[in-house]
Structure 1
Amino acid sequence: MTEITAARDQPALQLNLLVLRCQALEASKRFYERLGFRFVKEQHGNGPVHYASEEAGMVFELYPLREGESVDNTRLGFRVPDLEEIVAPLETLNRDIIADEVIHIVQDPDGRNVELRERTT
């Protein structure tokens, strides 16, 4: 796979927003806080109360699932500090070692697969 770059050391694309719709908003907030996200409660105008986190140059928001809306099949991946401590209380669906890197697959409260790797920098 070839990475397209704007400059020699700068990626051409950068993820800047991720919004998840959650059946159990508070449980999802606690799950992602466990991974290291820090959320603030927000509401824009008459919109729903939700949580937002600004980490690593991106905004990650958790919104309540709308009535009649289904949870998607999004798969997320995060590099986290102290991987083993973070996954200890979580149920690991799968644990792999790829190129000497330990990867845990866990599920968030809405059943989305979340891939966790140790942050090295």
Structure 2
Amino acid sequence: MQLDLLVLRCQQLETSRQFYESLGFRFVAEKHGTGPLHYAAEDAGFVFELYPAAANEALGNTRLGFRVKHVPQSLAQAPETTTREFDGTRIYIVRDPDGRKVELREPAS
């Protein structure tokens, strides 16, 4: 089993795109038929999409985790950061523009 698609609904689509790009994702704008403009990033068979949330759409309590290169550089876009240790690895926890917790850790050497 392998996760190959993640779609997030965002109240602040452009701000969310900028936040996730600061973590290393590279998005392209897409629009399928009469659907909304959204952003998609694809890497190694994994597609990550950001869609605009409908006016009354609940965003839920989603928590994400990414391995990113150069975590300290990525944190420049995250005003509040907490850290924790897990199995000897430091994990940085930030919030995206819609308030979701995002865990960041660097890839193992």
Report the secondary structure of 2:40's partner residue.
Answer: strand
Matches within 5 A, 1:1-121: 13-120=1-108
TM-score w.r.t. the length of structure 2 is 0.93
Where structure 1 has 5 or more consecutive residues not aligned to the other structure, the ranges are 1-12
Change (3 A) 1:84 1:48: same
Q: Alignment identity in percent?
A: 56
AA aligned to 1:45 is G
How far is 1:89 from its partner? 4.1
AA aligned to 1:24 is Q
Where structure 2 has 5 or more consecutive residues not aligned to the other structure, the ranges are none
Checking the alignment, whether the CA contact within 8 Å between 1:37 and 1:53 is kept in structure 2 is yes
Cα distance in 2, alignment partners of residues 86 and 52 from structure 1: 19
Cα distance in 1, alignment partners of residues 7 and 79 from structure 2: 24
Cα distance in 2, alignment partners of residues 36 and 56 from structure 1: 14
RCO greater where, 1 or 2, for CA within 8 Å and sep 6 or more?
A: 2
How far is 1:88 from its partner? 3.7
RMSD: 1.2
* Structure 1 runs, 4 residues or longer, greater than 3 Å off: none
Larger Rg: 1
How far is 1:27 from its partner? 0.2
Cα distance in 1, alignment partners of residues 8 and 77 from structure 2: 23
How far is 1:92 from its partner? 3.5
TM-score w.r.t. the length of structure 1 is 0.84
Aligned length: 109
Cα distance in 1, alignment partners of residues 51 and 91 from structure 2: 27
